[in-house]
Chains A and B, each alone.
Chain A
């Protein structure tokens, strides 16, 4: 099953490689991993999207907690949470397609950030499925390149990752 794990860690050199190394050494999957400092510059917050059996996910949680730099870990998918990902897509936009692409972008509440004679660069934010359906909607054919950040997640309401 797909899990989205949130963790806080001390902003030490090499902390990211400890997490990445743990996943590769123990053969765990990483679908995506995002990381950036928080409002407290000594801490970084990471969101890891992974998948595995319940036993594997339990081990992932425990092994992450065992890393000396890790302050706290939460499996967001165990409860109510919000997940967002940012995608930038550059598409070929010519002739009649330009109008259609603009319309689809509006429907998906995206924005066109850059326009050239032959291309649009579209920005879209949402959960993974939404970004996937946008790609399906415009079709692979006009896409020149895409870049996605991977999911960032946060718990709903009182679900807070403690420091």
Chain B
């Protein structure tokens, strides 16, 4: 039987086991929406803005091992989706975005709602396709899913013109895919892995630095075992949190711009650095020249060869699937008679302890007068037993959540690390909640970020998503204000948010529960009450200290040891 292109598209999603499509209809995708309507297997979630559709698909993917799927119309639907696509691209999130396009005969004529979707998204997708023939839809979607999740994952766009979605052909879903020019790596080079094992065993001051790649590769177990086997300190990037349990004594905290003193000093002064699924980005190692001033040997495991030796010189590159490489490395280490030198390791830990003391750990001065944002996160951790999914927006609140919510499991910390997209938090939390209907999902946000996608409170109502929104409301675009305080002579240019809405009333207007919390003593009771409401979305407006800053801080362009600690200011 012949099916329309639209029906084929939906059949493909069924074949891929897609549970949810996050989307928004429009002219160019009407056939596809019609096909969606006539089946029940793939459920559609109607967001209120296409950016949110993509973030929701993204949150769904980050909190699971699955590919997120979004569906948008041509023109403005697609352009609205671009921020979401770029967000997923920079964090290597597996995703398929299907967009409608004007009919093939109208392409290039500046038709109504026409944009060059393939051209606009090219720099922020792993790959993209314009399907010009109904016969190609099935094979293209098959390829899109394969590309999205294999190798270094990423978003793939499939642009389908309206006439193509109406044409008919036989539906055959290919069993397998082969793309001649695409051969993602699997195992790493065994000889290199042996070298790596030897370097780690010979190290006097080894350090393990892991990133989002460990989380994406489902290699947290392997990483944890490796760190314990070596007895070395481990740090995670913002994207890698949960890859190694934060509660473990070998965890020295997050590194980078707002990382702990001991993590950053450890990076700078170790003699062998093992980087796993991390890419030495500017917010992580700061100034490259400064980083290179101190000699150390670097082993870098990554699935993407272009991530290796991009910013720093690497002594031992291992290209491969992080999980497979770590498995093999563990085998070599386990079968080796040599153990790391206990005396050297002890003195290395003594040094790290000294840094921990000097840096003062993560700390803030709590107050009984005014709510400290860090206290809110600590309390959130306490009452959720550290077991919640935490989706975050971007700003100071994001850094405090990363620092103070001690993630013990991968895929619990959902944030836009690479692009730093304000507006990501709430829609991402929707994707997480849909994937994990019984789990506790918190969205930590700021009064600035939340307003970038606040319309999604309506989506949350429609789909009964009992997300707990914690707005750390400091009345400022706090992170901007912090930089202005430090680097622009306290000139708070456009970082004060006047005329904020009454968030309690706003939440109520959307049919949710709103709470305003002004006093530190009310923080814990409010959180308890909110989280006890299992079936409701509760929006908590915490009035926090407007002057609070995120510490430690390695100022932009500075080196890892040039950190500003809290007391120096």
Binds A, one of B20-28, B90-98, B117-125, B466-474: B117-125
Stretch touching chain B among A14-22, A77-85, A136-144: A14-22
The interface bits of chain A over 60-77 (1 if a CB of B lies within 8 angstroms of the residue's CB, else 0) are 001101101111000000
Q: Name the CB-closest residue of A to B126.
A: A68
A59 CB-CB contact with B under 8 Å:
yes
- Whether B310 lies near A17 (C-beta < 8 A) is no
Nearest neighbor of B128 in chain A, beta-carbon distance: A14
Q: Which of B179, B305, B310 contacts A65 (CB 8 A)?
A: B305
Chain B residues within an 8 Å CB radius of A13: 130
Quick check: is B72 within 8 A (CB to CB) of the other chain?
Answer: no
A87 beta carbon closer than 8 Å to chain B: no
Contact B305–A62 (Cβ < 8 Å): yes
Do B182 and A68 touch across chains, with their CB atoms under 8 A apart?
yes
Across-interface contacts of B147 in A (CB, < 8 A) = 68
Within 8 A of B (CB), among A34-75: 55, 58-59, 62-63, 65-66, 68-71
- Interface SS, A side: helix
Q: What per-residue 1/0 map shows which CB atoms of B158-187 lie under 8 Å from chain A?
A: 000000000000000000000111100000
Using A17-B122, A25-B123 as known contacts, say yes or no to A68 and B310 having CB atoms under 8 A apart: no
Q: How far is the CB of A60 from chain B (nearest CB, A)?
A: 10
Q: Are B305 and A18 in contact (CB under 8 A)?
A: no
Q: Give the distance in Å from the alpha carbon of A21 to the alpha carbon of B125 in the complex.
A: 12
Does A10 sit within 8 A of B, measured CB to CB?
A: yes
Say yes or no for B335: interface residue by CB 8 A criterion: no
Q: Determine if B368 is an interface residue (Cβ-Cβ < 8 Å).
A: no
| C-alpha spacing A68/B147, complex, angstroms | 9
Counting contact residues on chain A (CB < 8 A from B), the size range is: 10 to 19
Known: A58-B309, A59-B306. Contact between A17 and B179, CB under 8 A? no
Q: Given the known A-B contacts A9-B181, A10-B180, are A18 and B306 also in contact in the complex, defined by CB atoms under 8 Å?
A: no
Contacts of B306 in A (CB 8 A): 59, 62-63, 65-66
Q: Do the beta carbons of B181 and A68 come within 8 Å of each other?
A: yes
Contact between chains at B309 and A55 (CB < 8 Å): yes
| Chain A residues with CB under 8 A of B180 | 10, 71
Number of contacting residues on B, CB 8 A? 17
**One of A10, A17, A58 near B181 (C-beta < 8 A):** A10
A121 CA to B123 CA, complexed, in Å = 42
Chain B contacts for A65, CB-based, 8 A: 305-306
Of B118, B130, B305, most buried by chain A (CB within 10 Å of CB) is B305
Does chain A have a CB within 8 A of B127?
A: yes
B122→A18 contact, CB < 8 A: yes
Q: Does B536 contact A (CB under 8 A)?
A: no
- Known contacts A14-B118, A65-B305, A68-B126, A59 near B310 by CB under 8 Å: yes
Closest A-chain residue to B123, C-beta based?
A25
- Residues of chain B within 8 A (CB-CB) of A71 are 180-181
B202 near A: Cβ within 8 Å?
A: no
Question: A68 vs B118: C-alpha distance in the bound complex, in angstroms?
Answer: 14
Which A residues are in CB contact (< 8 Å) with B127?
68
Minimum Cβ distance to chain B for residue A90 (Å): 34
Q: At the interface, yes or no: B304 with Cβ under 8 Å from chain A?
A: yes
Q: Tell me, rounded to whole Å, the shortest Cβ–Cβ distance linking B178 to chain A.
A: 12
Which residues from chain B contact A63 at a C-beta distance below 8 Å?
Answer: 306
A48 CA to B99 CA, complexed, in Å: 33
B123-169 interface (Cβ within 8 A of A): 123, 126-127, 130, 147
Q: How far is the CB of B177 from chain A (nearest CB, A)?
A: 12
Chain A's closest residue to B118 (CB) is A14
Q: How far is the CA of A69 from the CA of B122 in the complex (A)?
A: 13
Residues of B within 8 A of A69 (CB): 181
CB neighbors of A among B76-133 (8 A): 118-119, 122-123, 126-127, 130
14 contacts between A and B (CB under 8 A): A14-B119, A14-B130, A17-B119, A17-B122, A21-B122, A55-B309, A58-B309, A59-B306, A65-B306, A66-B304, A66-B305, A68-B126, A68-B181, A71-B180
Residues of A within 8 A of B (CB): 9-10, 13-14, 17-18, 21, 25, 55, 58-59, 62-63, 65-66, 68-71
Known: A59-B309, A62-B306. 17 other contacts (CB 8 A): A13-B130, A14-B130, A17-B122, A21-B123, A58-B309, A59-B306, A59-B310, A62-B305, A63-B306, A65-B306, A66-B304, A66-B305, A66-B306, A68-B179, A68-B181, A68-B182, A69-B181
Closest CB pairs A-B (n = 4): A62-B306, A71-B181, A68-B127, A62-B305
